[in-house]
Amino acid sequence: MIIQYDHWSVAFYSEISYTLQGCCGKFPGGLAETAFTKTEDTKETIAMTKAEFVEKYAEKTGMSKKDAAEAIKAFFEVTADALKAGDKVVFPGTFKAEVTERAERTGRNPITGAEMVIPAKKVIKVKFSDKLLG
């Protein structure tokens, strides 16, 4: 089953960007400057905090901060429930997320150099659209 949404969600993209701390690019709808900031002296990219995101989201939507925080929380709960159920979450033109199985593999202990088995596990795979970058 695929859950598909026709609207773009700033909340999910921002939270994923914040979580991965390496995604960059532009948000549709004029939010490019709100996702990441650069300090003038170091030119480092700093991810937006959750509180800052809630504030910007509230400003853009005209909601109170409390309502914006609840909407963002509800969005992530619905997304998490869908992924836990094994469903894909797809926002056309923005991103798709799904749970995949990472196979068991052999690795090395970085301290001793001894071979060890890294067990299989489920991971969330998120792919963003190239449209977000341009």
pLDDT tens digits for range 63-109: 999 999 999 999 999 999 999 999 999 999 888 999 999 999 999 99
55 with 48: CB under 8 angstroms? no
Task: Report how far residue 98's alpha carbon sits from residue 83's, in angstroms, rounded to the nearest whole number.
Answer: 6
Task: Report how far residue 67's alpha carbon sits from residue 55's, in angstroms, rounded to the nearest whole number.
Answer: 11
pLDDT attached to residue 25: 38
With a CB cutoff of 8 Å and minimum separation 6, the contacts of 9 are: 75, 91, 94
This prediction has a pTM of 0.58
Q: Both tokens of residue 120?
A: 């299989």
What does the pLDDT look like over 9-27, one tens digit per residue? Answer: 444 444 444 443 333 333 3
Q: How confident is the model at residue 40 (pLDDT cuts 50, 70, 90)?
A: low
